[in-house]
Amino acid sequence: MYIPENNEDLIKKCEDNNFRGTFSIENDIIIWKVTHNIVLNIILHNHDDEGYISIYYVDSKGRSYAYTHWHPENDEIFGDLQNINDNEIIVIRRDIFGRKKIIIDSKQRLAGLKNNIFFSYEKI
């Protein structure tokens, strides 16, 4: 079980595990730019025993749109980030009207959506 001591410790662990993208820290928040249009904000120890992860889509004009967030336990943060890095998390990119939308979930739970005409999904 790995619980990051601080922001620098988590970033080092991610970099040591060859995470893609770039990391920075702003106002005690880790900013992980996974791709040119997928950005995560990560807060360690948001409450006593949990952190905070939010996912944003950044459009071609640089506007950010918050899509989802969750509150993993402190000992789950690195695992969640590793799942995102390893493409174990799926990004659904279009809703039934063709609008871009991002929903984060596991491959296993979304397996049933594979043949659903309303969704197309791809790796981040």
pTM of the model: 0.74
Decide if 62 is inside a domain.
yes
77 belongs to a structural domain: yes
Judge whether 14 lies within some domain.
yes
Distances (CA, A) of 49 to 1, 9, 72, 75, 122: 14, 17, 9, 9, 32
Q: Is residue 122 part of a domain?
A: no
What tens digit of pLDDT does each residue of 14-72 get?
999 999 999 999 999 999 998 888 899 999 988 878 999 988 888 889 888 877 788 88
Q: Residues 77-112: pLDDT tens digits?
A: 999 898 888 776 555 555 566 665 545 555 554 454
Residue 13 has pLDDT above 60, yes or no: yes
The answer to whether position 76 is within a domain reads yes
Domain count, the chain: 1
Tell me the two tokens of residue 7.
Answer: 């922001």
Residue 37 belongs to a domain: yes
The residue range of the domain holding 62 is 7-88
Residue 64: inside a domain, yes or no?
yes
CATH number at residue 24: 2.30.31
